Amino acid sequence: MVEQLKDEFKQQFGAGASHVFFAPGRVNLIGEYTDFNGGHVFPCALDLGTYALVRARTDNVVRMYSSQFARVGQVTWALDALVFDAAKDWSNYPAGVLAVLQQAGCGLAHGFDVLFWGNLPNGAGLSSSASIEVCTAVLAQHVYGLDLSMVQLVQIAQRAENQFIGVNCGIMDQFASGFGRAGHAILLDTNTLKFEHAPVDLWDEFTLLIANTNKRRELAESNYNLRRAECDAALAALQTVTAIGALCDLSVAEFERHAHVIVDENARRRARHAVSENQRTLQAVAALNQRDLLTFGQLMNASHVSLRDDFEVTGLHLDALVNAAWQAGAVGARMTGAGFGGCAVMLVRSAQAAAFQAQVEQAYLSETGLNADFYAVRIGEGARLLEAVL
C-alpha cells in the first residue's frame, strides 16, 4: 500500500517522497465527554489512521493532496498566509497545525509537498481529524528539525482543532493518536496529563467490535460546542459553593450534594454525566485489570445510558445500533466518540461474534434503513516515522 502511495506522490508532485509518516485513529473504550471536564478517559489507538508522504521544498509553499478527496485536487498554502479557508476543505486541518506551530515560535523555514491517505471512515467518530493533525505535527517535527516532546506535539494538534478549525475539543483524541501502544489502552487524567498504559487482554474469549452507523456526523456543525458551554456553566455555578477547578474534581456524592445550585436543568444533567462517567471510567479500568469483563461491559452499557439521557448526544441511529447489540447479547455496548452519528464499540463473546453481527446488522437495517459496517478492533502503535525513503 505504501508503495502505491509513493507512486501516487510522484504523479502528483513530479518527484519522490523523502519520508513516510503514520498517525492512528482511536476508539474510546469508556470515558466520554470527560476530557474537557478534567476527568479520565480510556482510549486506545487503532491500526487504522492517516499516512503522510512528504518532500521538502525550497520556497514557502506547502502543496497538499489527499487521494480520499481527489475532487478537491491539490491545495496550496503559503506559510505566511495560514488563515482558515472553507474553500480549502480538508486541508484546513494540517494547515491549522502549521499555523499553531508558527504561533508557538517554531520557525517553518520552507514549504513541502505532502500526500495524505487514510483508512479511517471520515465522520465516523474514530478521530480522523486528530489523526491527520497529529500526523502533521510529527512530520513537521522531522521536516523542520524541531525539538518538541510528544506531549507538546499533541497539544499543538489540539490547539489547531480548537483555534483554527473552531471545534472546542479536549485533548483525548490527539493524545491517544500520539501515545498509543499496541495491545494497550491509555488511562489518561486529562486534568494533569498523567497517564498509564493498561493491557487490554481479552484472552481470545472476547472480541471488541466497532460498528459504524454510517450516519455521518459533522462535529463542527454539531452541538459539541454547546455541550461544552453547558458544562462550563455548570462548573461556574458549582464554583460558587465548592473550590473545584473542573467538574470531575467532584465525586458523585459531592455532585449530588451541590447540584441544586445549577439552575439550568440541561447544564445540571450535562454535569451529572461528566461526574458519573469519570467514576465509571476508573471502575472500568479496575475491572479490566481484575479480568472482570462482565463488569467492564455493564459499565459500558451504563455509559451509553448516561450519554443518551443526561448528555443527549446519541440520537436515533446510535441508539438503534446499541439497542440491537444489547438485544443480541453484547457483554457491553456504547457509543464512542462525539456522538450525533458515528460509531459504537461493542464487547462480545468471540464464539458468538458472527451470529451477533448478523443479528445486529438486520435489526439496525430494519430500524433505520441503513447498513452498519463492522470490524474487529486491533490496537496499534501511536504516531511515528515509518520510513525514510532517501
Query: Can you tell me the distance from the alpha carbon of 231 to that of 235, in angstroms, rounded to the nearest whole number?
Result: 6
**Active-site hit among 35, 113, 173, 319:** 173
Q: How far apart are CA 171 and CA 191, in angstroms?
A: 10
Closest CA to 181 of 378, 38, 49: 378
Q: H-helix or E-strand containing 349?
A: strand 343-349
Q: Compute the distance between CA of residue 31 and CA of residue 47 in angstroms, rounded to an integer.
A: 21
Q: Locate cell 492512528: which residue?
A: 24
CA dihedral 108, 111, 113, 119 (to 10 degrees): 30
Helix, strand and coil content of the chain, in percent to the nearest 5, comes to 45, 25, 30
Residue pair 132/96 in contact by the 8 Å Cβ criterion: no
Looking at the DSSP bridge assignments, the partners of residue 373 are: 212
Burial class (CB in 10 A: 0-12, 13-18, 19+), 258: middle
d(CA 226, CA 294): 34
Total H helices, total E strands in the chain: 11, 12
CA angle 302, 295, 315 (to 5 degrees): 25
Q: Are strands 194-199 and 184-189 parallel, antiparallel or unpaired?
A: antiparallel
- Do residues 133 and 21 make contact, with C-beta atoms less than 8 angstroms apart? no
Residue from 112, 62, 107 nearest 88 by CA: 62
Does the active-site annotation cover 319?
no
* Amino acid making up residue 137: A
Closest CA to 65 of 90, 98, 87: 90
Q: Please return the burial class of 132, using the count of CB atoms within 10 Å of its CB with bins 0-12, 13-18 and 19+.
A: buried
Which residues are the active-site residues? 173
